[in-house]
Amino acid sequence: MGTNAPVHIFMGSKSDLPVAEKCTKVLKELEIDYAITVCSAHRTPNDLHDYVKDSSASVFIAIAGLSAALPGAVASHTLKPVIGVPVSGKVNMDSILSIVQMPPGIPVGGVGLDRGDNAALLAAQILGTSDERVLQNLQNHRAKMADKVRADSASIQE
Ligand code: RP5
């Protein structure tokens, strides 16, 4: 983890950590350095502004539940890509719609509910457009997935 990391992960609360861990697991597999911070759009808005402005990351991942303003708040402070990860709760559509239904002009990319893993892969794909090493690690990751599907199919044959 480092301050010069190409990916900066924000989570709205420490309670989002299980989703963030799905994300960091994939980033570690792909050998991508990351910074990770608990910072809330509503509870610590000034801290969020400072973190985003000071960050040298190329991609932000923002993980949040409930009204999930965090990804949009990050996006409002930067021109870098922001990937929002909605977190499940009592009402699952709230965080999904909060991320997908951004007003015109401030887009946020969105992945599925609790899909920290996909957010990491999408961030890697963005980095991979200008980083051969990341691209190669992504190709290896896809090859491993394909091998697993084939092995699963073989395992259920009589
Ligand atoms: C959101 O509210 C957080 O991202 C979290 O998903 C949810 C609940 O937060 P806590 O009450 O657990 O701090 O802002």
Concatenated DSSP letters of 89-117: -SSHHHHHHHHH-PPTT---EE--TT-HH
Task: Report the nearest-CA residue for atom 13 of ligand 1.
Answer: 13
Q: C-alpha distances in angstroms, 136 versus 18, 43, 84, 147?
A: 27, 40, 25, 17
Q: 76-90, pLDDT tens digit by residue?
A: 999 999 999 999 999
Terminal-residue alpha carbon distance, the chain: 47
Q: How far is the CA of 65 from the centre of ligand 1 (A)?
A: 6
Identify the residues whose C-beta falls under 6 Å from ligand 1.
12-13, 15-16, 40, 64-66, 87
pTM above 0.85, yes or no: yes
Q: 14-61, pLDDT tens digit by residue?
A: 999 999 999 999 999 999 999 999 999 999 999 999 999 999 999 999
